Structure 1
Amino acid sequence: MTQEAPQISILILNWNGKEDTIECLESVQKIDYPNYKIILVDNGSIDDSVTIIREKFPQVLIIENGANLGFAAGNNAGIDYAISQGADYVFLLNNDTVVDPKILWAFIHANEKYPDVGIFGSQIYYYKEPKKIWFAGVQWLPSQARFIHTGCGNIDNEDVKEIQFSEYICGCALMVKSEVVKKIGMLEPKYFLMWEEVDWCYRARRAGYKCLLVPESKVWHKISSSFSGGDKAPHYQYFWWRNRLLWVERNFSFLEALSIYKVIFRDILRQLRKYFNSQSGSQERLKSQAALQGVKDYFFRQFGNCPAWVRSPVKQ
């Protein structure tokens, strides 16, 4: 490792998102840092993403997975390659983002101050509202069995640059030390999409590492290209509900998990009421149906991608 500028591999996952990915790559090419490589992992795109990106960015290494493996397994292919090539850090970056040119130096300078940190995160802003914060760390609320985003919706105060520790770092812009991956393993593929970075961060913390939010590392995110319709999309609801249950199972003791499951059971009852009180074929009914399918699939140990009907629901 070069002490002054350790090697960083920037890993961008693409799935039929060439327009966003091209803008992201153009942004990444402007980063002011002397020792980084760009790796694009394509998750089986059926558009002409790979052909166009290869022509436009010949210096970018492209890994073709051949199928949509999801966020976790898709990124794992790139993480494994980056570490095998000597990367000291791997920076996971959503393809629907643009970055500040100083983003990597901000991470490295933070690591010099906090050497016990294993995972670093950017402060993330709304793409269409460049001063408005979307992610600046999280807090876990046991009584509600969920996280709250601290600072979400606030307008950035340029005078406030407090580095803070966070329960987890958003996978949209997350840099991990290679030594951490070697110690705790890769992202868990069962999640497919959502909660996998939360799981990763909790595993890192149990291994003795901290998670640090670095405000001077800035990213602007188009919320959200992975979910057309945002949190109203049925497949968002499916993954959120199923994977929250899986995350609790994997990261808490039996007694801790039991108390959290009690809260989640109350939430499930609310979803049932929403389902039966909503009109057949309505968006509200589809959301509740997908959420309940996620709960069912958790208990029947059906992980990975969601059922086809959840991603493309047919209104009845």
Structure 2
Amino acid sequence: MSFPRVAIIILNWNGWEDTLECLESVYQINYPEYDVIVVDNNSEDISIKKIEDYCAGYIKVDSNFFNYQNKNPIKIFEYSSNELQSSKLPEMDVINSVKPNEKLILIKNHKNYGFAKGNNIGISYALKSLDADYVLLLNNDTVVDKDFLTELVDAAKTNDNVGFVGPKVYIYSDKNTLQVAGGAKVDLKHGEVDEIAYHQRDEGQFDHYLEPDYIGGTCILCSREVIEEVGMLDPGYFMYWEDADWCFRGRKQGYKSVYAFKSKIWHKYGASSDTPFKMYYFTRNRIYFVKKNSTRGEFFLFSMFILAVTLSKSLRQLILQCDSKMSYAYLKGFFDGITLSVNSKVKV
């Protein structure tokens, strides 16, 4: 039987402990034809050293989800992002000769490009150098089921209109509670998302076919053909909303987002505290996303709504909590989102 070649891209930034657990779970999957690419976004910690030590067999990964397997050392093919500018790298025959669970492609970025551009570097390499049939974006703070990739690929092959596929995502700390069933629905009038199955106990109620508006970036499978037509992630987002944008651009080209309920992963998801940095990007990108995906009239109405929300939140932060930094982040995010130029397609 012939299996499509899948490039699994894992973005790392100062998160080597999560990345090692993710890698070990990936190397134990049953799917026979894949390449693992770790893109390091210029980590400031010892991530590179720890990843190298793990591949050499010096670090044993402990997890409640699997037993660590003693195996041959993992061969690392290491490149800087600048080295990837060449059209064909000389080691491809060597890379192809190594078993999937015995090799790692490590791409080291010279700066933190954020989620979108960081992953785009991996996507570009996967399509141009590995000749991958599919690309899978996988958060480094996840653990995967042994059959997760088989189920994703099977769902992707059901018909030519499937553009993006996502799994059933459980919360890492509570194995039977769902974070999301594939993705979410989007309310463009208010720039809000409603994650399907959010924090519900899994009792089989979501074991059926679904078409979300978009697949969450925690784990998203996309084919070469779709990427070549739709483009890659829009780097203008940096963080937040880029996954929704990708799927919406695909939808305009006639591609569905599909939930593969038999595919399972666990995500170290939890409520994180707001910071001015996060609030700025979330506010800005929320506006940028709606601008790209609505009519002028709809965007005007949304702008009035979000302005009222932003001003009220900003004043509350400033007056009641005496937090001028958070207040400034709200306002700057609003005005930058309004003025940010739309990037309709990011070519491979």
Q: 2:109 is matched with which residue: 55, 65, 71?
A: 65
TM-score under structure 1 length normalisation:
0.87
How far has the Cα of 1:300 moved from its partner? 5.2
Q: Does 1:88 align with 2:130?
A: no
| Letter in structure 1 aligned against 2:29 | I
Q: Does 1:297 align with 2:336?
A: yes
Report the CA distance shift for 1:233/1:219 in structure 2 as closer, same or farther (over 3 A). Answer: farther
| 1:257-281 per-position Cα deviation (integer Å, ceiling 9, x unaligned) | 2232232122123213313432324
- The corresponding residue for 1:147 is 193
The CA distance in 2 between the partners of 1:74 and 1:288, in whole Å, is: 29
Quick check: 2:314–2:330 contact (8 Å CA) kept in 1? no
How far has the Cα of 1:299 moved from its partner? 4.0
Q: 1:11 is matched with which residue: 9, 12, 24?
A: 9
Q: 1:119 is matched with which residue: 164, 177, 195?
A: 164
The CA distance in 1 between the partners of 2:189 and 2:44, in whole Å, is: 43
The CA distance in 2 between the partners of 1:236 and 1:214, in whole Å, is: 30
| Letter in structure 2 aligned against 1:269 | L
The CA distance in 2 between the partners of 1:18 and 1:212, in whole Å, is: 30
- The corresponding residue for 1:98 is 143
- The corresponding residue for 2:51 is 53
| 1:100-136 per-position Cα deviation (integer Å, ceiling 9, x unaligned) | 1111111122123343101111121111011111112
- Alpha-carbon RMSD: 2.0
- The corresponding residue for 2:286 is 244
Quick check: 1:123–1:214 contact (8 Å CA) kept in 2? yes
Counterparts in 2 of 1:23-62, with a 5 A limit?
A: 23-57=21-55, 58=75, 59-62=103-106
SS of the aligned residue for 1:106 comes to helix
How far has the Cα of 1:149 moved from its partner? 1.1
SS of the aligned residue for 2:119 comes to helix
Q: Does 1:109 align with 2:170?
A: no
Q: Does 1:205 align with 2:251?
A: yes
| Letter in structure 1 aligned against 2:225 | E
- The corresponding residue for 2:239 is 193
The CA distance in 2 between the partners of 1:127 and 1:201, in whole Å, is: 25
TM-score under structure 2 length normalisation:
0.79
Quick check: 1:69–1:192 contact (8 Å CA) kept in 2? yes
SS of the aligned residue for 2:176 comes to coil
Report the CA distance shift for 1:90/1:23 in structure 2 as closer, same or farther (over 3 A). Answer: same
The CA distance in 1 between the partners of 2:205 and 2:251, in whole Å, is: 30
Report the CA distance shift for 1:76/1:160 in structure 2 as closer, same or farther (over 3 A). Answer: closer
Q: Does 1:274 align with 2:316?
A: yes
| 1:228-266 per-position Cα deviation (integer Å, ceiling 9, x unaligned) | x72523322111100011111222221222232232122
Quick check: 2:19–2:140 contact (8 Å CA) kept in 1? yes
Quick check: 1:127–1:220 contact (8 Å CA) kept in 2? yes
Instruction: Among all aligned residue pairs of Structure 1 and Structure 2, give the percentage whose two residues are the same amino acid.
Output: 36
Report the CA distance shift for 1:210/1:30 in structure 2 as closer, same or farther (over 3 A). Answer: same
Name structure 2 gaps, 5 residues minimum: 56-74, 76-102, 343-348
State how many pairs are aligned.
294
The CA distance in 1 between the partners of 2:221 and 2:171, in whole Å, is: 20
Quick check: 1:54–1:62 contact (8 Å CA) kept in 2? no
Report the CA distance shift for 1:287/1:132 in structure 2 as closer, same or farther (over 3 A). Answer: farther
- The corresponding residue for 1:306 is none
Quick check: 1:54–1:60 contact (8 Å CA) kept in 2? no
Quick check: 1:271–1:292 contact (8 Å CA) kept in 2? no
SS of the aligned residue for 2:167 comes to strand
Quick check: 2:314–2:326 contact (8 Å CA) kept in 1? no
Quick check: 2:6–2:136 contact (8 Å CA) kept in 1? yes
